[in-house]
Amino acid sequence: MTIAKRIIVTGDFLRPSPHKFRPTQNENIRWLAQLLNVPVTMATGLPVQEVIWDDNWLNQATFDQASVRAIYEAFWLKPNMHSWAQIYSAETLPVSVESIFAHVFRDSFVIGFELPPVLVHFLRRNGIGFVDVILSPVRFMDDLTFSVNASSPAALKAIRALALPEAVQRLAAGVVSAHVAKHFPTPPRPDTLLVIMQTSFDRAVIEGKRFVTLIDYMNELEEIAKDYSSVLVKQHPLEPQPEICDMLLRNMPDARLTEENFYRLVSHRNLKGVAALSSSCVYEAGFFGKRQHALMPSVNFSKSPAGLDLCEVGDILLVPDFWRDALGASGLAVSAKDGITLPPKPNRFRLQHHTSWGYSEIDTDIAVAWAKD
């Protein structure tokens, strides 16, 4: 492993928008860099830098649109969303891209925001250590939590010692389920399956270097639905897909569309199972005692997209001692522990990241705060 002289925070900086060839992860990467700058600097004394794609030169980005286009063209691909799906898990890079990345990441240790497998493969190939921070699929806690993986088994072991116990997640699910007890005029029918629709262009729906939809798994879904008396279909709020939705309503038994909050639905005793291509809702359903049906065979919620073991942590990510343990176990020189912590604060990360996944509908603190923006 190389001796780190700096910490680089990065992520899937090659991921474009489906609507226009522009960056989509620059704000996520910058958020994580800002969030961790102080505790990581306190732990290591090393400078914290970002590697991002940003077309605004004022943001001092590593890559601009022209350089990212050149990277796609080095793969002999057009610079667009479908090409991103093809390179997302690439195990090797074109020689020119390998050289560029080797220069960009020289003498560094990487902290990632949801690193794509293509970048994980590069880092491991070049002996560059990393800790990857992924937004957890469990989204009903008092705040967002994180699924963390690391290049070093020793680092992962150190992180596991600070992990969020699964029992705490089960307790939180029990508290959230109490929302169903008050004012639920249209509960699901007995023995209902909930089908969750997802956005069209996301890493979670890449299979075999292409994006898949529920149409690709209609036969499997119809087979699952035979074990239920009725079906509810819930579209993604950011991307309704009327054609796929109509097909589901025609082919599923006693199927209806719902706009009800997911957590209220999954808390009701009449709802028995949740199905989706790969949605985190399927994983969350298990905490509420529901049957889980992930249609894509590659789905494994205990592994990162690159196949590494994950460990759940909460706001301990903000504590310098967390990084002293994780980075010290990764071979970096760290300062002595000081026991400094921050008091817990509900919705700290949700409000900063402006992401709630339906939790805002059962927690008014978020809606009130966002209304002030």
- Residues 6 or more apart whose CB falls under 8 angstroms from that of 30 comprise 50, 52, 59
CA–CA gap between residue 322 and residue 39 (Å, rounded): 9
> Above 90 in pLDDT, residue 179?
no
CA–CA gap between residue 130 and residue 145 (Å, rounded): 19
Q: Where are the domains of the chain?
A: 6-164+314-342, 173-294
CA–CA gap between residue 270 and residue 255 (Å, rounded): 15
Share the mean pLDDT of the chain.
92
Summarize pLDDT for 153-162 with one digit per residue, the tens: 999 999 999 9
> Above 80 in pLDDT, residue 250?
yes
Quick one: pLDDT band at residue 353, thresholds 50, 70, 90? confident
Which pLDDT score, from 0 to 100, does residue 351 have?
85
Quick one: pLDDT band at residue 352, thresholds 50, 70, 90? confident
> Above 50 in pLDDT, residue 207?
yes
Which pLDDT score, from 0 to 100, does residue 370 have?
46
Q: Report whether 81 contacts 18 (CB < 8 A).
A: yes
Specify burial of residue 368 (Cβ count, 10 A radius: 0-12, 13-18, 19+): exposed
Q: Report whether 109 contacts 7 (CB < 8 A).
A: yes
Q: How many CA atoms lie within 13 A of 69 on its CB side?
A: 7
**Which amino acid, one-letter code, is at 40?**
V
Architecture of domain 173-294: 3-Layer(aba) Sandwich (3.40)
Rounded mean pLDDT of 192-197?
97
Summarize pLDDT for 110-148 with one digit per residue, the tens: 999 999 999 999 999 999 999 999 999 999 999 999 999
Of 10-14, 107-111, 116-120, 236-240, give the lowest mean pLDDT range. Answer: 236-240
Which pLDDT score, from 0 to 100, does residue 373 have?
53
> Above 60 in pLDDT, residue 187?
yes
Tell me how far the alpha carbon of residue 362 is from its chain's centroid: 21
**Which amino acid, one-letter code, is at 181?**
A
| Residue 87 falls in which region: left (phi positive, over 0), alpha (psi -120 to 50) or beta | alpha
| Residue 201 falls in which region: left (phi positive, over 0), alpha (psi -120 to 50) or beta | beta
Rounded mean pLDDT of 254-276?
94
Which pLDDT score, from 0 to 100, does residue 363 have?
64
Rounded mean pLDDT of 28-38?
96
Token couple for 15: 């991921």
> Above 50 in pLDDT, residue 342?
yes
**Which amino acid, one-letter code, is at 52?**
I
Strand partners, 135: 146
* 288 φ/ψ angles, rounded to the nearest 5 degrees: -105, 10
> Above 80 in pLDDT, residue 62?
yes
